[in-house]
Amino acid sequence: MARHVVDVVVVGGGGMGSAAAWRLAGRGADVVLLERFEPGHVRGASHGASRIFRVSYGDPVYIRLAREAHDLWRELESESGAALLTITGSVNHGRTPDLDVLSGAVEAAGVPGQWLAAEEAAERWPGLRYDGKVFFHPASGRLHADHAVTALQRRAAALGADVRHRTPVLAIAVRGDDAVDVVTEDDVYRAKRVVVAAGAWTEKLLGALVPLPPLRVTQEQPAHFAPLRDSDEWPSFVHHLDQQTLAATGFLSGVYGLATPGEGVKVGFHGTGPVVDPDDRDFTAEPHQLRVLRDYARRWLPGVDPWACTPISCTYTTTPTSDFVLDRVGPVIVAAGFSGHGFKFVPAVGRVLADLALTGERPDARFALAGR
């Protein structure tokens, strides 16, 4: 078994791990990125052609992180020559207090949005029906997830990182405050730090090493619906559904969506899939959830054909609070719990992980491990 000495090993080549490798290599660290699957695989949470980007959060911490991410996405585009972020604006609508919280938070942060009458919204985006209040935020859009991961890994490699696919990590062993062994089938990497951004496999790799919060791994199943007219413009959108409406309709949660050019309009419930083992998934849409999603499209999306849809399968890895874990214990840096709303923050999270590895600087306390 070959032995290597490096500064940092990054475990997991999805969005977060790839961004960490990019930021670490850019700051002069000797970095190895280990990804267990082939490039472009569909087994995790960073694949596909579209993710929502938005800075419209009800929490100033996430607003600041999203604004940083926006600038870093543009930096990555400039470095790589890849088009990754398309601004389309976003629409939030519904009858819950969440919209007022959202509006107040972005206004306080200096990035205000705009309230629209339902009739005005319908004229601008006829593919949607609108429920209650309508809040438009212009600084939102979509990201191309597959292209983003590829760009991050290529830039990391250009800056000196060693990017290795088809290289599962078998074990991580802490040897001291500045020494950790990362073991693969053929190699042992001795590093000062290891950044573990393993998504649904986090518990399997780190459960015995650090005090992780409960991580719920689910198989989610949004779908691409065929638009009825190619000429319609689509913002990204979130329909905030109150408990009374959920009970009356049988819908499983609020609904998000966005256009995915060439594939349709992506629509999904949020965090409602069955709990799964990431090594034992069937990737098959659960029939009841698919029926309910089609029913939602029939009622609320007049711009799509509710019967012409292609299900998508991905994993969510979620903490009890839906906050991320970004923390360090000795030489081990943990990045976990992003699923459902994390991809937009990818390059900013990469910066946070590089800080944790190189200087020990920690982000907001909400991202800390238990007892930290």
- pLDDT tens figures, 217-230: 999 999 999 999 98
Other Cβ atoms closer than 10 A to 42? 13
Length of the chain: 372
Share of the chain above pLDDT 70, in %: 99
Label residue 166 exposed, middle or buried (CB < 10 Å: 0-12, 13-18, 19+).
Answer: exposed
Q: Give the mean pLDDT of 235-262.
A: 96
Average pLDDT over residues 343-348: 98
Following DSSP, what letter does each residue of 99-110 receive, concatenated?
A: HHHHHHHHHHTT
Fold of 2-49+146-214+320-367: FAD/NAD(P)-binding domain (3.50.50)
pLDDT at position 356 is: 98
The whole-angstrom separation of Cα 24 and Cα 79 is: 16
Q: Mean of the pLDDT values across residues 142-171?
A: 98
pTM, whole model, 2 decimals? 0.97
CB count, 10 Å around CB of 4? 14
Residue 262 confidence class, pLDDT cut points 50, 70, 90: very high
Classify domain 90-138+217-318 at the CATH superfamily level.
D-Amino Acid Oxidase, subunit A, domain 2 (3.30.9.10)
At 314 the pLDDT is: 93
Per-residue pLDDT at 143: 98
Identify which has the larger pLDDT, 371 or 336: 336
- Write down the domain spans for the chain: 2-49+146-214+320-367, 90-138+217-318
CA distance 68 to 70: 5
Residue 371 reports pLDDT greater than 80:
no
- Structure-token match 């390059």, residue found: 347
Q: Give residue 230's pLDDT.
A: 86
Task: Reduce the DSSP state of residue 243 to 3 states and report it.
Answer: helix
Both tokens assigned to 240? 């905030």
Mean model confidence pLDDT for the chain: 96
pLDDT value for 252 = 95
The DSSP output letter for 113 is -
pLDDT at 372 > cutoff 80? no
Contact 356, 8 (CB under 8 A): no
